[in-house]
Structure 1
Amino acid sequence: MIGGAVAVAPSASAASLPAACNLPLTQTKEASTSVNLRSGPGTSYTSLGILATGVKFTEYCTKDYAWSYGKVTSGANKGKLGWVKYSLLNPIES
């Protein structure tokens, strides 16, 4: 430490959010129907796989409440990160 200043790196979760994210949050949701997991926030982006109805998805942020970025937490694509159409995800009631 020189001059009393300490540099602190941003947290891993904040540093890893895509630039397209403009509304950070964390919420567990599930697919309301079969839906594409995409590489970006829009239908023109590559599909990374299909999430079946009921597949769990941890939402980390949204792009204008139109697309959700997060991680698949169940099903065949478990562990993948990507974008899902916001309106096709339902909050899980506790």
Structure 2
Amino acid sequence: MALDGTRKALKELGNTASHRIPEDEIISNLRTESDRSVIVFLGTIIEDSLKREITKSLTGLEEQERDAFFDFNGVAGTFSSKIILAKP
């Protein structure tokens, strides 16, 4: 099914963490984008960072369980739920 391939590609892209891209490269690329694109991109970086930090606390979970946790209908499926979970 094509949708499964798309999901897999998006998951792999998500695993290519934005924190591995040099800051100056990110800033340079953002200079040519619209304000809306910049906000969406930076929001995505923040959400990815939250997911990475929350994942560090999820010890003992299988990959499938972790995926379900972050699935849209999962406990940490939305940006706002990730923010709440990340609060100290």
- Larger Rg, first or second structure (1 or 2): 1
> Is TM-score (shorter-chain normalized) higher than 0.5?
no
Superposition TM-score tier, normalisation by shorter sequence: under 0.3
Q: Determine which structure has greater relative contact order: mean sequence separation of CA pairs < 8 Å that are 6+ residues apart, divided by chain length.
A: 1
